[in-house]
Structure 1
C-alpha cells in the first residue's frame, strides 16, 4: 500500500490512567500536528479515566465495554469498528489488549498489529503467553528502552521484530498551572523541602521503599526538614501503605493525594523528584521532572540508567536500597550547585533526545513500513 493516508487504531484495554495512556495521547497529538495525513483513533475502555480524559481533547476516539478480562462486547466492537472504518494498522498499547485483539482477529481477520512494550517485565515462558507475544499479526514490537528490548528478546522468537523507540515528553502541552499550591493548602512551611513522586500504587513502583525512606530520615535520623508528597491512583495496595504510615507516625510528614488531574503540573512545586520503582520501562515522571527543572533521584531499574546518569544529571541507587536513597536526598538537598548541574544537563538531554516529536517521527516510519508491506 503506497499511500501516506493511513488510519491507525490505538488499542487500549487499561482501566486506569498512567504513563502508558499518556504515551498514546502524546503520540496521537503529535502526529495530528506534524502528519495530518495520518488518521489516529484511540479505542479504549468505556467510562475509564482514559475515556473521560479524551473527552477534553481533540483526539478522535471510540470506546467499548470491558467488564471482565475477556469481554465479548469489547471484541465484537473492535471487529466491527475495524471493518466499518477501514483501519490499516492496529497499534496495541498494553498486554491485556493483545489477547482481545487476537480473538477479534480470529473472527474478523483484522489488519496487521504492532505492539508497544512499555515495561521491563520479562515475558513469561508459558505456552499461551509466548503464543500471544509471538502472534503472526504482530509485525513489530516497539520497546521503550534498550533494557526493555534486551528483556523482550528472551520471549520473542524473531528478534528483528524488536525496535527501541524512546517515549518522549510533549513540549507543547506543558503547564505549571494548578488549582492550588501544595505548600498553601497543606501548610507545608518553606523550611521543609518537598520530596515528590508521581506513580500509581502498583507493585512495580514499590512505594514501600518510599515509606522506608521517610521513616529512615524522619524517625531514625530525626530530620524534620523534609515533607513527602505522593500523587497517583489508589489501588488494593493503598490501604497497607496508609496503615504503615500511621504505624510509623509519619502522617504529619507525608501526603498521598491519589489520582490528580494534570498531576505533572505539580512537579515545579517539588524540590526533588524521587522514584522508588523496582521495575520500569522509563517513567514519564522522569521526563516531566527534567522538563520542569526539578532534580531527580531514582532507582536504576529498567531503562532509567539510559536517561539518568549517576552523578551527571541525577542520582541512582539499587532498587529497595532505601538507605542509599535517603542519603541521596540529604546530600542533594544541601548542595544547590549539584542541583543546578543536574537540572541543566537533564533539560538539555531531554530537549535533544526525548521529545514526542522524535518519538512520533520514529514511530511513523514503522507505521508506514508495516502498512506498505502488508
Structure 2
C-alpha cells in the first residue's frame, strides 16, 4: 500500500492563498458536497458552503471480523492501539497515562501497532518509564487477528476526524477509549459505544483505562454496543446506499 507525500504549505503564503481560492471556487460550483462527519460543516461554511449542499455520509468498511471467544494472550488482558506513530495520534499521552497506573498493569500487555517517525522516540519513552508491558508490534497486515485478541482499544488522538481504526475496533467488539476530536463523538457515544476523554488529558485517560481494566461487565457492554452500532451504521453497503441517495436527490 502506497501513500502520497505532500509538501507543507506555509501559513500565509502565496501557495496557501492559491489553494484556498481553488477550494472556494470548487465549493461554490458544487451542487452537493459529501462529508464524512458533521465536524466538517463549520469549516466549509467559512469557505462559503451552504447547509443544503452538505450531506454527511459516514465511512463504511467491510471488516473481516474474527470471532474469538478466547481473547487475551498468555492469560493477560490486552490493550491495543492501532495507529501511525506520529505526534497527532497521542501515543506519548498513552505512555504517560500507563506510567501512572502501574499497579493495575501486572496482568496486562499493551500492543502498539503501527510504524512512523516517532517509533524510536516512543520506544525510548516506554523504556524510560519502565513500561515492560508495552510491546511495539510495527506495521502489520493482520489487524483483524490482533483485534480478535484485544480487550481494550485506545486511540488518544489529538487531531483527527473519523479514524478508520476506531471503526475497525467497533466491528472487532472492543471496549474503546478515544478522544473528542473531529467527528469521533458522532459514532462513539460516551458510556454507550465507548469512553471519551479530552485530547491530552492524561489523568482522565489513565482513569478510563483503569475503569475498563477492573470492570469486565463495562468492557463487555461497551464492546457489544460498539459492534451493534457499527453493523447497523458503518458498513460499506450502508455508505454506498447513502451516497446513492445523495445522487438521486439531483434527479
Q: TM-score of the superposition, structure 2-length normalised?
A: 0.83
Alignment match, 1:227: 109
Deviations 1:79-107 (A, max 9, x none): xxxxxxxxxxxxxxxx99xxxxxxxxxxx
Secondary structure of the 2:161 match is coil
Deviations 1:320-360 (A, max 9, x none): 11211111111122212222221222222222212111111
Residue pair 1:176, 1:266 contacting (<8 A) in 2 also:
no
Residue pair 2:90, 2:155 contacting (<8 A) in 1 also:
no
How far is 1:253 from its partner? 1.2
Alpha-carbon RMSD: 3.0
Alignment match, 1:149: 41
Alignment match, 1:236: 117
Residues 328 and 128 (structure 1), Cα distance of their counterparts in 2 relative to 1, 3 Å cut: same
1:206 aligns with 2:90: yes
Secondary structure of the 2:203 match is helix
How far is 1:297 from its partner? 1.2
Gaps of 5+ in 1: 1-48, 52-65, 71-94, 97-124, 184-188
How far is 1:128 from its partner? 2.4
Deviations 1:102-151 (A, max 9, x none): xxxxxxxxxxxxxxxxxxxxxxx942231232243873432211123333
Residues 341 and 157 (structure 1), Cα distance of their counterparts in 2 relative to 1, 3 Å cut: same
Residue pair 1:216, 1:326 contacting (<8 A) in 2 also:
yes
Residues 264 and 153 (structure 1), Cα distance of their counterparts in 2 relative to 1, 3 Å cut: farther
Residue pair 2:60, 2:239 contacting (<8 A) in 1 also:
yes
Q: 2:101 aligns with which of 210, 217, 221?
A: 217
Alignment match, 1:132: 22
Secondary structure of the 2:204 match is helix
Q: TM-score of the superposition, structure 1-length normalised?
A: 0.57
How far is 1:230 from its partner? 1.0
Residues 368 and 290 (structure 1), Cα distance of their counterparts in 2 relative to 1, 3 Å cut: same
Secondary structure of the 2:26 match is coil
Residue pair 2:108, 2:133 contacting (<8 A) in 1 also:
yes
1-structure distance, mates of 2:72, 2:231? 28
Aligned length: 241
Correspondence 1:54-203 to 2 at 5 A: 69=6, 126-136=16-26, 139=30, 140-154=32-46, 156-159=47-50, 160-170=52-62, 173-175=64-66, 183=73, 189-190=74-75, 192-203=76-87
1-structure distance, mates of 2:26, 2:203? 47
Residue pair 1:313, 1:345 contacting (<8 A) in 2 also:
yes
Alignment match, 1:280: 160
Secondary structure of the 2:153 match is strand
Residue pair 2:72, 2:150 contacting (<8 A) in 1 also:
no
1-structure distance, mates of 2:80, 2:218? 18
1:346 aligns with 2:238: no
Gaps of 5+ in 2: 10-14
Secondary structure of the 1:153 match is helix
Could you list the runs of 4 or more consecutive aligned residues of structure 1 that deviate by over 6 angstroms after TM superposition? none
1-structure distance, mates of 2:116, 2:21? 30
